[in-house]
Each structure stands twice: as C-alpha cells, then as structure tokens.
Structure 1
C-alpha cells in the first residue's frame, strides 16, 4: 500500500477551489429541514427552511429518480409518529407531499429503499427505540400500513447500559439486491434478511454476533470484482471497525470476522465519551466520524481515513492512514458527493454543516471549503442540534 506520506505528497497537487453550485438538505432535531446551496465560489448558505411534519427528524433518504425525500421520526412518545415525504425541486426547495404522514410505531433512526425491478419499490426502517425493523410498499400515503414488522429480544445479558434492549441502528440492501442487512447496537448483532424482490417481503436469516460490547451502528459494503465480498461494520461502543468476509454460497449469507481496527491512530486510546458515528466507503477508502473525541480542539472532533487492501491470507483489510479535523463538534452524519471531491459533515452539537475537500485520487481529506450554522446549537450528548445532512444529487 502507498505510505501515508506518499499519499500526503500527492494530495498537495490537488487544487483547493471547488467549482459548480450544489444543493444539500439538512435536518434538525427541532423538526426543521433546511435547503442549502454551495455556490460556485464556495459560499455555503441556507436558501429555505421547512417544517419536517414529524417530531424528531433523525435521518434523510433521497431518491434521485423520483426527487423524493424520506424523513423518519426518532420520537415515539408524541403520536402520531412516522415518515414524511417531500418533493425536492431543482433549487433544493421542499414541498411536502399531499398524502401526509405515514404512521409508524416511531423511534426510527434509519431508512433505506430496496426491492422491486428498480431496487427502490419498498422502504425499510430501523426502529432504535422500539427494537424492530419494519417495511412498507411505496409510494407512501397516510393510509399505508407496514408490510412486515420484526421485533427483537436481547440474545443475552449485556454489560453496557446502552445495551438495555435490541437497538437496530441501520438497514441497507447489499450490492446484490438479494439481502437486507441491519446493524443492531443493543444486541451486538448483524442481522440479515433474504428479499423477495417482487413482493418486498423479507425472510429472516441467522444473525451474526459481533464481539461483546461492540455496539454495531452502521455498515457499508465493499464490492470489488478483484477482491472478496466484505462488509465494514462501524462499532459505536468499541470505537472500531470490523471487517467481515461475506460468503454467498448458501441460501443466506454467512459472515466471518477477519479484522477489527480502532477508529483512532495506533497507540491512541479512544477518549472518554467518544462515540464513532458515520462510515462511508469510496474508491478503495473508508471514512469514519468520531464524536466527542476533541482531537482538534474543545469543540472540534475528527474523521478517520483508512485505505482498503488485501492481507497476506487473501482477506480484505483496512490500513489506518490518518485522522483529520471534522471541522465540527459531534459529527453525527457525513456523505461524500457524487463527484467524490467533497464531503459534507453534519455536526450535531455544533449544528453546523461543514464541506471538506476530498482528493478523489489519493483519498485524502483536505481543507475546509465552507461551513454554515444550521439552526440552534445542540447540547452535548443530548438528542438535539443537527441530525443529518445529504447531497441532493
């Protein structure tokens, strides 16, 4: 693999000015949605503000084919709870669909499209607070009802107080479109389901246990024809990434853990209260956000960059490259744009959207391109402040 220093040297050749206006959307735990524009001279500004239509918008999912935005509701104590949908205009402005809110059991923190001929005919929801996964047929209306609900119980006693119950934190289809995976922070499980593409119905596969106390939060797939299939699982509680080999030879996928690597540099312990949050894979690199590590200041956390390689025994592995500033406090979400040259980071407690340069060749993260405050600042370790940010592409 290239050394950190050769990558850094190559990164110096990349210009810091990014041209071309772009649209983003951010959500805030106060119930507001914000449309943002990054201008061709790198001015990031809020262009409009819209009520989300639910109590606690925690995640944003954009379908570029239909220009539909899905907004989930993490709250489950002020019914009705549920998903609201918006049509996104070319300028990023939002219009709530007339069909209204789709009532769910609430407490969802993540959503994903899956199934059908187009891979986007159904919606799956991860319900953190109510320990379940549910699915819906699209399009959503106010009268939509769940196709299926899977409710979980703890597989055994846990020592971490965060693991008082199963807490599914993410649902996502794999690159084949045949299976849906979920990371369960509360039960240290990676769950998998076989997808009936025509009906959207899921058939539960055997779950895979992670290391005790890992608290898997999010996961991303690695799909390279020159490498084994692999999943990178971000463990919030242990501040680590698990690399799992995926075997598709059976009716259900089987997983084998081949590496666990810290989200911090070698010989650096995770600071007290640090919580890994977001993970992205792009062009042979993996990026992770570290919340509350304060590596770059009292209110400035870090992003970790890894390079993907192949170990001597033929498994996919990660090599820690560097830690860089997240230019925000408590970075809950991040997303790389389609061009691969910018990363949007949503600082929950700082309530900021930071746009950071990314070298598409070396994979290194660079300078801060732009930043803007979005709504009121949050309170550390509380569910307030900025909840998510996405590119509208």
Structure 2
C-alpha cells in the first residue's frame, strides 16, 4: 500500500456520506476528500486487501461489500453486498483466504471465502458464541465486537463484549477454515471490545469498553493460549466521567500504545518496554472532537487519526518521535465518522 490515500467509513443512517476516499498529504497528513459513495449502508468498518477494499454494512440484516481498487481513488462495487447471516457486523479481517466478520448483534463470527477476483462467497461458517456477563443491558448475551488474525496467521481471535471472553479459532493451513475455539475468560464486567498484538507477536492487549482497562496478555501461537498478565487503567482514577474506550493502536516499532476514550474524549499514550509487559502512562490529550469511535496510526508512524463520530470530524495528530505523545494538527469535517484505513 502506498499510504498516500485514506478510506473513511461513516454511518449513512446518521447523515454520513458512506465510504469516502481522501488524498493524504505525506508531509502534513491533511486529508482531502476526492470521492464518496453510499452504495453500502453504514460502512462503519473497512479493511484493504490487494486490489480491493471491504466494508461491513452495520445493519440488522448485516452484509459485507467488496470494492475494486482498479482506480484507488474511486472504489467501485465488485458485486452486490453479501449477507453474513449475522446482525450488525462491526469489524472485519482478511485472513487465510477468507474475510471474517464480527457480528455484534447476533454474537457470532462469519467466515466468507475470498475468490481470486476479490469477490466474496456466502458464509462457509457462522460461529455462534454462547454466554453472558453481569452488566445489565449490555451483556444479556454474546456480542462479538472484533476479529483479529494473530501474527503467525494460524489463528483468528474473536473479542466478545457480551461474554467477557476472547475466542481463538485455529485456521486450517490448507483450507483456512476455522476450527473449534480456545476460549479465554477475562474479568467479569470489563466488556472487551478490541484487541491489538505487539509487533513481537507474543503479547496482546485487550481493551475493555464497559470498564476502562487494558488487559496485557501473553500469546502462544503454538497452542493458541492467551493468558492475562495484568490490567492497566486507561483513565485517571476518580475521573468522574462515564467512559467507553474504543480502540487500542500500537506503533510499528512496538514503543508506544495509544487508546481512544469515548466520554472523556481523549487519546492516552503509553510507553512500552521491550517485553511489552508494562505499559507506562505518558500523557492524555483531547481527541479534538466528541466520541472517538476509531483511532488509526499511519504506517510511517508519525501521524494518528481519530474518527470522532458524534462531532462529525476526523482529527489528525503528529506524533512526537521521542515521547509518542500526539499533538493536534488539523481536522476534516465528516458526519458520523466511524473509521480510517490507509491504502
């Protein structure tokens, strides 16, 4: 990927333009929209693959759409959206010849075969989660929120907010089909939302949404074991503001980890030691808007972008190379902004 363009998701049902393509100034990080399409309802999360871009449709009858990047500044649908047989898909990932979706509403993971031309087949598997948690109104049943391939490519980890768990699905080395999962239970009521791996591949960080904590875990790709080691708060104690963390992001060199907070409307910077075991708080800065649903780091490491859903803007930050602390550099108006990916 060139890194000189970005693809922006937004909620069409809340007034967003849908899928927007923007030029990215390599020096300043400024985004300039050049194309938008509402061909898919609520493309709240995106991922880019070779020659194609994929978007969930976060609706009750969830689906996923593939877009050709033959002209990378003007993505065009490759085919009609494909139903995932799950409700409200919130996240997706390409891995092992499949596109996987996390279906929040139905608490399941769907596996859709990826064809040679970039289009998608119907789900070859829909993996239903089971269980619940103690938080009334949020954990009455499973709510799969994220799907993340491990660095080895042999496992898919599914983070479930409703069951306080992470399920690791082994992926068949020939077919890519997911096998029976290994489930890791986290502390009841934390409501895990997202997961990010350390570049070293042996540590993973699980971010809670219902409690503002980051759980440091040891990951063993040999047997798919995820072992919680420690919890780190992502807001100061006694802050008095209801908060729902959204996204953890780690720098490519593994030196820094950032967390976006909805409620406090902030970005927190942690420094990481070489082991990755001890995130050290460095700073908290304003996110530049309200309700940062997604946080993205540019591949070269010197820029961060916060998609502020409720204020309708995407704020960009330059990152201090010594401390990792972001500094606001500008913003782009984007109603109902939901995510930023690079291509």
State if a TM-score over 0.5 links the two structures.
yes
Where does structure 1 differ by over 6 angstroms across 4 or more consecutive aligned residues? none
Tell me the equivalent position of 2:82.
Answer: 102
Post-superposition offset of 1:28: 1.5
- Structure-2 residue corresponding to 1:370: 330
Q: Select which of 301, 310, 314 maps to 1:349.
A: 310
Cα 1:357–1:157 shift into 2, 3 Å:
closer
Q: 2 CA distance for matches of 1:101 and 1:162?
A: 29
Gaps (5+ residues) in structure 1?
1-19, 116-120, 294-300, 376-384
Structure 2 counterpart of 1:29: 11
8 Å contact kept, 1:218–1:235: yes
In the alignment, structure 1 residue 145 sits paired with structure 2 residue 122: yes
**Which of the numbers 296, 307, 316 marks the counterpart of 2:271?**
307
1:4 aligned partner: none
| Whole-Å separation in 2 of the counterparts to 1:338 and 1:41 | 13
**Is the 1:25–1:92 contact (alpha carbons within 8 Å) kept by the matching residues of 2?**
no
Offset from partner CA, 1:117-146 (integer Å, 9 cap, x none): xxxx2111100001111101103647x221
Q: What are the equivalent positions in structure 2 for 1:325-344 lying under 5 Å apart?
A: 325-344=286-305
**Cross-structure match for 1:316:** 277
1-side partners of 2:106 and 2:142: how far apart? Answer: 8
Tell me whether 125-134 or 216-225 shows the greater mean CA deviation: 216-225
2:158 matched to 1:182?
yes
Instruction: Give me the whole-angstrom Cα distance separating, in 2, the residues matched to 1:44 and 1:203.
Output: 41
Distance 1:223 1:390, change over 3 A: closer
Shift of 1:93: 2.1
CA distance in 1, matches of 2:3, 2:63: 33
Structure 2 counterpart of 1:129: 105
After superposition, the C-alpha distances for 1:78-125 in whole angstroms (9 at most, x for unaligned) are x5x41111123566222121x22112224110000111xxxxx21111
Does the C-alpha gap of structure 1 residues 271 and 90 become closer, same or farther in structure 2, counting only changes over 3 Å? farther
Q: Which runs of 5+ in 2 are unaligned?
A: none
Contact 1:276 1:290 in 2 (8 A): yes
Contact kept? 2:111, 2:124, Cα under 8 Å: yes
Aligned to 2:44: 58
Whole-Å separation in 2 of the counterparts to 1:355 and 1:332: 14
| 1:159 to partner: Cα distance | 3.1
**1:26, distance to aligned residue in structure 2 (A):** 1.1
Contact 2:133 2:141 (8 Å CA) reproduced: no
Quote how far apart the aligned CAs of 1:157 are.
Answer: 5.1
Query: Is the CA contact 1:37–1:46 (under 8 Å) kept in the aligned structure 2?
Result: yes
Size of the aligned set, in residue pairs, is: 332
**Greater displacement, 100-109 / 83-92:** 83-92
Counterpart in 2 of 1:263? 234
Q: Secondary structure at the match of 1:309?
A: coil
User: Could you tell me how far apart the structure 2 residues matched to 1:164 and 1:320 are?
Assistant: 33
Deviations 1:332-356 (CA, angstroms, capped at 9, x unpaired): 1111111111112111101111111
Paired residues of 1:100 and 1:141 also in contact (CA < 8 A):
no
Q: CA deviation at 1:160?
A: 3.4
Compared CA separation, residues 32 and 130, structure 1 to 2 (3 A):
same
Corresponding residue number in structure 2 for 1:6? none
TM-score (norm 1): 0.79
1:161 is paired with a residue whose SS is coil
8 Å contact kept, 1:21–1:39? no
- Would you say the 8 A contact 2:92–2:100 is kept in 1? yes
Which of the two has higher C-alpha Rg?
1
Could you give the per-residue CA deviations for residues 234-265 of structure 1, whole angstroms, max 9, x where no partner exists?
0111111000112345xx32222211011123
Write the distance in 2 (CA, Å) between the matches of 1:137 and 1:388: 24
Measure how far apart 1:32 and its partner are. 1.5
The root-mean-square deviation of aligned C-alpha atoms, in Å, is 2.2
User: Does structure 1 conserve the Cα–Cα contact (< 8 Å) formed by 2:5 and 2:21?
Assistant: yes
- Matches for 1:1-393 after TM superposition, within 5 Å: 22-30=4-12, 32-39=18-25, 42=28, 43-51=30-38, 53-63=39-49, 65-66=50-51, 68-76=52-60, 79=61, 81-88=62-69, 92-97=73-78, 99-105=79-85, 106-115=87-96, 121-139=97-115, 141=119, 144-154=121-131, 156=132, 158-224=134-200, 229-249=202-222, 252-265=223-236, 268-282=237-251, 283=253, 284-293=255-264, 301-309=265-273, 316-366=277-327, 368-375=328-335, 385-392=336-343
What CA distance in whole angstroms lies between the structure 2 residues aligned with 1:241 and 1:175? Answer: 20
